[in-house]
Amino acid sequence: MDLETITEYRPAPGAAWQPGDAWLGGGTWLFSEPQPGLRRLLDLRGFGWAPLTESRGGLEIAATCTIAELARWRPGGPAAVAWATVPLLRQCCDALLASFKVQNMATVGGNICLALPAGAMTSLAAALDGVTTLWSPGGGVREVPVIGFVTGPGTTVLRPGELLRSVTLPDASLRGRTAFRQASLSRLGRSAALVIGRTDGPGLVITVTAATPRPVQFRFAARPSPDEATAALDRAGLDRAGLDGAGLDGAGLDGGHLTWHDDVHGAPAWRAAMTRRFVAEVAAELRE
């Protein structure tokens, strides 16, 4: 889409951020909607960050890594054997509505910063206990766990001018076994419910995205039965709220206000029902 107010496009390095600026990832969202408030686009590709860096600590995914690059990536060295979760990367890339023509441009960082409930890169990184590295305009650096980075549909903890540099998936999370479930109204449609289970030593971590306005996580010290897993969901109040099609003020996890997300990609009650079913399924799959 023509962005008629844009007067300048430049590489991001060295640019002093000012109101009216936007960090440009792949541009697949920026160019798909009117952006009347924008004046300058600062292209993050100018940093020349390596898309994916393996280390003992885990996998660092640069914000500018495209979704296509992530989908194709395979670890080398010892990680090739140890990182059992690698197929999950591809599953999450495929969970976007976007076809491979969009994935060739769209970046992991852009997907997370856009913070749509159906942001499958958020689902992936939250499920694997990813940690974001953020650069502030003044030169400061801070780290925020992905699970707390997205605060609601389209909202994040990013401050004005702050940018997402990378997401690091820790080695320990990459070693777990995972189970993945996703539902959308059409086969390649936008996710309406996405549940990822991951073994964590003797325990289990279940992450719910797409159905909720922001990621929600349940951590179990031991592998729960399907009933125990859905009981946790019910205790969180999500189930009742969803089936009523109503929000549940003040009763959410972490003291937040949790509701089932509601938009054209799925009714809240359906999202709630699918999430409950998926939570039971991933618990059963990872119990063995």
Q: Which residues bind ligand FAD (CB under 6 A)?
A: 22-30, 32, 44, 63, 96-98, 102, 105-107, 109-111, 113-114, 116, 118-119, 158, 163-164, 190
Assign 54 to helix, strand or coil: strand
- Phi/psi for 73 (5° steps) reads -65, 140
At position 12, the amino acid (one-letter code) is A
How many chain residues touch another protein (CB under 8 A)?
27
Strands (E), the chain: 8-11, 21-24, 40-43, 52-55, 58-62, 131-135, 141-145, 150-152, 155-156, 163-170, 178-184, 191-200, 203-209, 216-220
> What is the Cα–Cα distance from 172 to 58, expressed in whole angstroms?
8
8: partner contacted, choices another protein, ligand FAD, none (Cβ within 5-8 A by kind): another protein
105 binds another protein (CB under 8 A): yes
Supply the minimum distance, in Å, between the C-beta of residue 129 and ligand FAD: 20
Residues 6+ apart with CB under 8 A from 107: 25, 26, 44, 63, 64, 65, 66, 67
Q: What minimum distance in Å lies between the beta carbon of 149 and ligand FAD?
A: 11
Q: Which amino acid is at 123?
A: S
Binds another protein (CB under 8 A): choice among 72, 74, 101, 235: 101
With CB cut-offs between 5 and 8 Å by kind, which of another protein, ligand FAD, none does residue 43 bind?
A: another protein
Compute the least distance from the CB of residue 202 to another protein, in Å: 39
Instruction: Give the x-and-dash track for 26-45 against another protein (CB under 8 A).
Output: xxx--xxx-------x-x-x
Least distance in Å: CB of 128 to ligand FAD? 17
By the rule CB under 8 A, 22 interacts with another protein:
no
Q: Which two tokens stand for residue 172?
A: 């320990």
Helix (H, G, I), strand (E, B) or coil at 50: coil
Q: State yes or no: residue 9 binds another protein (CB under 8 A).
A: yes
**Which residues partner with 200 through β-bridges?**
203
Given the complex with another protein, which of 34 and 154 has the nearer CB atom? 34
Tell me how far, at minimum, the Cβ of 210 lies from another protein, in Å.
19
